[in-house]
Structure 1
Amino acid sequence: MILVEDWAEIRRLHRAERMPIRAIARHLGISRNTVKRALATDRPPKYERAVKGSAVDAVEVQIRELLRETPTMPATVIAERIGWDRGMTILKDRVRELRPAYVPVDPVSRTVYRPGELAQCDLWFPEADIPLGYGQCGRMPVLVMVSGYSRVITARMLPSRRTGDLIDGHWRLLTEWGAVPKTLVWDNEAGVGRGRPTSEFAAFAGLLATKIYLCRPRDPEAKGLVERANGYLETSFLPGRHFSGPDDFNSQLTAWLKVANRRIHRTLGARPADRWEADRAQMLTLPAADPPTWWRFQVRLGRDHYVRVDTCDYSVDPAAIGHQVTVLSDNEKVIVLAAGGEIVAEHTRCWARHQTITDPQHAETGRIMRREHHHQRPTGHIRSVDSGPLVEVEQRELGTYDRLFTVIDGGREVI
């Protein structure tokens, strides 16, 4: 068999140079029949080895019977059932060829995103030790959102993956967008919901008039956009960076995303920033009023006058001891309200774990109140149980008791 180069040269000499077959054969040193065969076909020569039998041919019928009963049977189990004692590579290749005839086909549909339709959400855990204060460092979750149509990415580091912090993180990112996608896609994150959204997230979705879609378990393709965005952040944003704290991380991330969203997206063949206006125009508008602080609870303030949010304790004005107070918390602040709506404590949210945050004014007020309480001693007057008028109580001389118990002369006779 001649080479492809010889075949091409034969055709060139015959058609372009008008050289006869005999001259071509003499010029290239090949036979005239070879020249004739080369001129008779428009396809280049291709070496094809004669098909030989395989050792698997003898057991193919048994393999088909096993696959007909159990289409998903592994090749290793098939080898055991048929008593295969040869190499596994050729057996696995044949099983791979035969299996599609017995397994139902599950084609993947191509997803087409319409403007404003949805955004995919996920938590990214960067491998970076973030200083949190009080000598602590931690690896904090980052909420990542990707719009389906434009592929615009937005992200923000959160103090925890609890429901309240996730909702507050969503609100801050959507406020940066200035619009709300019609659907927010999540996997089965505990703070969002498993099988169905939590009551807090359902209320948040109602406020935004959007839909929370929870993917089926073990279905990563359902939110492949945000999964690829997490990998993009891991490989393109994180390497070589150092952070002084969560605020510094969020500042650097926001600045980097402005650049990243202006780069050509390989799948789209366009810049996400160029498609953003069309995407946002079809989204829902933000609510007119900010949502309430979603991490809230009520507690009766004890004598300790501290409340706990996540793992940290925050001081409260001791004047509220014994009263019911409402604790409001978001990613940045912890606020405590008295029954009338009066603010009795306001602290910056602590991201470190198991810390006690004390307002110096609360501590001073507590010292004053304790000093006043210790100085209030009873002076011979006691108040009746029903808080009625004061009752005079006689105070006897100590000698009276000594005489009564025959301790001194004048008492009863000592036996």
Structure 2
Amino acid sequence: MGHGQSRTCPVLLMVAGTSQRLAASLLPSTAFRDVWIAQHRMLQEWDAVPHTLRWETVDIQPLMTWFLNERGWDLSWDTYTARAELADLTVQAGRPTPALHAARRRLTAAFPALPSAISPHAFAADLKSWVDHANATGTSTPERWSRERSAMRTPAEAPQVLGLRARGRATPDDDGYVAIADNHYLVGPWGARRRLTVEVTDTEVVIRSSGYHAGGFHTVTYTRSWARGIRLTHPLQHSVSQSGTSRTVQGP
């Protein structure tokens, strides 16, 4: 994870019920924020949204903990299911289905052994290669998958779900840091004592001013750290928009 830290990370596995098409993603945590970010990406890769989404919650994390919004703003299971209902999608949670059991056995048996320490990016690349191979050689033939996908919703027909983001509001502490997903990210004086808009993906943390702050509208983008308890002070980019123009500035 960097910063001298390592740990075992979960993998989110998704399988199409008829064709057995697989998708999988490494997660930084089992917080619903990170679970949803991963599923959001996999649905985009499929370019389709099933009419029924059956979640197994037995082995990844007790479902009730997903209802707790970290620091009052994190994307929650309640929000997800409510938005799915607006899109006329069925969300079920419970024990694993036979198809998911079979997919997990395939993943466990076929994925090659890895060294005890490997970076998340390297693991994710290996995982993608294995899933691509499994889909090319397994029961999910292109014809079966094409038929199943054609019966699903298009992403444009489910904006209430795919339009969701792990987004919320946060106020910097007295030292100018915003607490996000187990770490602290520095913002400049422009954000002091302000409610800022925060958006999180598995790779980035984006912090924006929610109004005109100290000379313009600020957007600070950090690489998200998968380590924990880290204070990050050097963003990838800090841009300021003012009067229809945008400029890049140094520092957070």
Seen in structure 2, the aligned counterparts of structure 1 residues 173 and 281 have a Cα distance that, compared at 3 Å, is same
Task: Give the match's secondary structure for 1:134.
Answer: coil
Q: Pick from 2, 24, 28 the counterpart of residue 155 of structure 1.
A: 24
Deviation, 1:319, is 1.9
Structure 2 letter corresponding to 1:141: P
Deviation string for 1:110-160 (max 9, x for gaps)?
xxxxxxxxxxxxxxxxxxxxxx11121111111100101100111011111
Q: Distance in 2 between matches of 1:200 and 1:233?
A: 30
Seen in structure 2, the aligned counterparts of structure 1 residues 338 and 305 have a Cα distance that, compared at 3 Å, is same
TM-score, normalised with respect to structure 2: 0.77
Q: Distance in 2 between matches of 1:174 and 1:304?
A: 39
Structure 1 letter corresponding to 2:147: A
Q: Pick from 153, 156, 168 the counterpart of residue 287 of structure 1.
A: 156
Q: CA RMSD in A?
A: 3.0
What pairs with 1:177-216 in structure 2 (closer than 5 Å)?
Answer: 177-188=46-57, 190=61, 198-206=77-85, 209-215=88-94
Match of 2:226 in 1: 351
Note if contact 1:143-1:158 (Cα within 8 Å) is conserved in structure 2: yes
> Unmatched 5+ residue regions in structure 1?
1-131, 266-270, 367-415
Seen in structure 2, the aligned counterparts of structure 1 residues 301 and 318 have a Cα distance that, compared at 3 Å, is same
Task: Give the match's secondary structure for 1:287.
Answer: helix
Deviation, 1:256, is 1.6
Q: Distance in 2 between matches of 1:240 and 1:365?
A: 38
Structure 2 letter corresponding to 1:231: R
Q: Distance in 2 between matches of 1:191 and 1:293?
A: 22
Deviation, 1:182, is 0.8
Match of 2:107 in 1: 233
Note if contact 1:208-1:287 (Cα within 8 Å) is conserved in structure 2: no
Deviation, 1:209, is 4.1
Task: Give the match's secondary structure for 1:262.
Answer: helix
Q: Deviating runs (4+, > 6 A) in structure 1?
A: 194-197
TM-score, normalised with respect to structure 1: 0.48
> Unmatched 5+ residue regions in structure 2?
68-75, 239-249
Structure 2 letter corresponding to 1:274: E
Structure 2 letter corresponding to 1:343: H
Q: Which has the higher strand share?
A: 2
Deviation, 1:260, is 0.9
Match of 1:328 in 2: 199
Deviation string for 1:325-362 (max 9, x for gaps)?
12221211111121227334221111011111112799
Q: Pick from 31, 40, 45 the counterpart of residue 171 of structure 1.
A: 40
User: Number of residue pairs matched?
Assistant: 223
Note if contact 1:191-1:198 (Cα within 8 Å) is conserved in structure 2: no
Q: Which has the larger radius of gyration?
A: 1
Match of 2:172 in 1: 301
Task: Give the match's secondary structure for 1:144.
Answer: strand
Q: Distance in 1 between matches of 2:223 and 2:101?
A: 32
- Using CA pairs below 8 Å that are at least 6 residues apart, which structure has the higher relative contact order? 2
Q: Which has the higher helix share?
A: 1
Structure 2 letter corresponding to 1:300: T
